[in-house]
Structure 1
C-alpha cells in the first residue's frame, strides 16, 4: 500500500516507520524539505511536500499538531482540493491547557476535518502517544493494543483496520464519525490522568464484572 503522511513529527515517524517496515511505501511530507528527507532516511521511506503526501497512494495520515491543521488544510484546498474523497486517517488531538479540548462547543476535530476537506476521515491512533506505536509490536500482558476506529466509510474502515493489524494491534470498530468526538474527549481525559500520575486502568473493573 502507498501511504502519504502529512507531518514529520513523532507520530509521523512512529507510525510511518512501522508501516514502512511492514512493506508499505511511505512518503513523508513536511514544510521543511530537510526534516522530511532526514525522516525518510531513518524510516526507509520517501520525502516530499505536503501536497505530494496528500496525493500519494491509498491512504493519508494526518500527523500534524492540531493547531497547524486548519492552515495546512487551507493550503491544500477546500472540500474540492487535494484531499477530496481520499482516505484520511486523523490521529490528531485538539488538547489545550488544562487538558481541555480546544474544539469544545463546536464539532469534534475529525468531523471538522471531514467537513473542510471532503475526505473519507477515519479517527484512529490518537488515543496513545508515539512511544507506544514505536513498540514492535505494541502488546502488553493483556495482549495487543486495541485501536478504536471511528468513521462512516466501510472501505476506508477496512483499509485502516489492515494497517492496524500491520502494527500488531487489534482494530476496534467504535462507531461512525459522530463517535469520534467521544474518542477525542476520552483521550483528553486520559492524557490528564497520565500527566497527573494516575493509572486510568484502575478506574475499570474486569470486563466480566462490568457486563454481569
Structure 2
C-alpha cells in the first residue's frame, strides 16, 4: 500500500517506521524539511499535493492548528482514506475530525491512533504493560475502516470499531482527559477497570 504521511514529528516517525517494516511504500511531506524522516523510513518526499496524489492512504500527523492549511495545500482528497491521529488538548472549537471532514470533502476520514503518547507507538509492537494496544477507529466508510484496521494490525495492535465519525469527538475528549492525567503523574489506564 502507498501511504502518504503529512507531518515530520513523533507520530509520523513512529507509525511510519512500523509501516515501513511491514513493507508499505511511504511518501512524506511536512511543514519542516522531511528529508531526515524520509531517510529513516526509506520514503520518498514531495509537496503536500504530490504526496496526496500518489498515495492510497494519508496519515494526517500535524498539529491541530495546522490542519486547515495543510489540507488546503494538498488539493482534492476525494476518494482517499485520510487517517486523523491529531489531538487538540485545549478542545477549542469543533472537534478536529469534524474540521478535517469539512476541509476535505470526499475524503474518507478515520480517527485513529490518538489515545497513546508517541513513545508507546515507538514500541515494537506497541504495548502497555505487555498487552498489545487496542486502537479505536471512528469513521463512516466501511472500506476505509477496513484499510485502517489493516494498518493497525500491521503495527501489532488490535483495531476496535468505535462507531461513526460523529463519535470521534469522544475519542478527542478522552485523549485530552487521559493525557492530562498522565502529565499529572497519574495512571490513566487504571481508571478503566476490566469487566467481570
Q: How many angstroms apart in 1 are the aligned matches of 2:134 and 2:128?
A: 11
The change in CA–CA distance for 1:124 and 1:201 in structure 2 (over 3 A counts) is: same
Residues 1:123 and 2:122 are matched in the alignment: no
TM value normalised by structure 2: 0.94
Is contact 1:4-1:55 (8 Å) kept?
A: no
Residue 87 (structure 2) aligns with: 93
State the shift of 1:74 in Å.
2.4
Residues 1:113 and 2:100 are matched in the alignment: yes
Is contact 2:120-2:128 (8 Å) kept?
A: no
Aligned residues: 195
SS in 2 for 1:150: strand
Alignment of 1:4-19 (within 5 A): 4-19=4-19
TM value normalised by structure 1: 0.87
Alignment of 1:96-175 (within 5 A): 100-103=90-93, 107-118=94-105, 119-141=107-129, 143-175=131-163
Deviations 1:127-155 (CA, angstroms, capped at 9, x unpaired): 11211111110124462100000000000
Runs of 4+ in 1 over 3 A off after TM superposition: none
SS in 2 for 1:184: helix
**Runs of at least 5 residues in structure 1 that lack an aligned partner in the other structure:** none
Q: How many angstroms apart in 2 are the aligned matches of 1:188 and 1:203?
A: 14
Larger Rg: 1
Deviations 1:172-196 (CA, angstroms, capped at 9, x unpaired): 0000000000000000000110011
Residues 1:206 and 2:158 are matched in the alignment: no
